[in-house]
């Protein structure tokens, strides 16, 4: 599935109802990495390299957390895209764009949303090289 253009999203965001209240946008683009999660998160240096990632998500939960993000102080725009299926190293997993009034609000909102998605909404299964 082709990842949407952040530039296009920003153009569209500028036409939204609360665009004049937004002073900052932050984006997150997650991609499949070759280094295993066990190595980068747990320090297991002998973890096998990743060949592909089986990725799926719970759309209803993501929608709920998107709406919760929009309810946060100073947040006026949230857009996201999720990939799914068997993804190769370097392929995009997700893309998130958050717009709000000031930097602290936008940073906190992006961390909240991506954290919820990664911890509660997705299933990721790394497939190592054989």
Q: What is the pLDDT of residues 42-53, one digit of tens each?
A: 999 889 999 999
Terminal C-alpha separation, the chain: 26
Query: pTM for the complete prediction?
Result: 0.93
Do 78 and 113 contact (CB within 8 A), yes or no? yes
Q: What is the pLDDT of residues 70-99, one digit of tens each?
A: 999 999 999 999 999 999 999 999 999 999
Residue 1 has pLDDT above 90, yes or no: no
Task: Tell me phi and psi for residue 103, to 5 degrees.
Answer: -50, -50
* CA angle at 130 for the pair 33 and 82, rounded to the nearest 5°: 35
Do 105 and 72 contact (CB within 8 A), yes or no? yes
Residue 6: pLDDT band (50, 70, 90) is: very high
């Amino acid at each position: 599935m082709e990842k949407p253009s952040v530039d296009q999203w920003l153009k569209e965001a500028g036409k939204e109802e609360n665009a004049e209240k937004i002073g900052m946008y932050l984006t997150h683009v997650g991609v499949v990495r070759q280094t295993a999660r066990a190595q980068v998160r747990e320090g297991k240096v002998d973890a096998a390299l990743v060949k592909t990632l089986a990725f799926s998500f719970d759309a209803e939960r993501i929608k709920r957390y998107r709406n919760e993000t929009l309810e946060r102080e100073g947040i006026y725009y949230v857009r996201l895209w999720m990939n799914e299926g068997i993804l190769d190293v370097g392929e995009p997993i997700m893309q998130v764009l958050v717009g709000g009034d000031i930097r602290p609000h936008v940073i906190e909102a992006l961390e909240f949303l991506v954290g919820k998605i990664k911890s509660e909404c997705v299933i990721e299964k790394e497939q190592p090289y054989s």
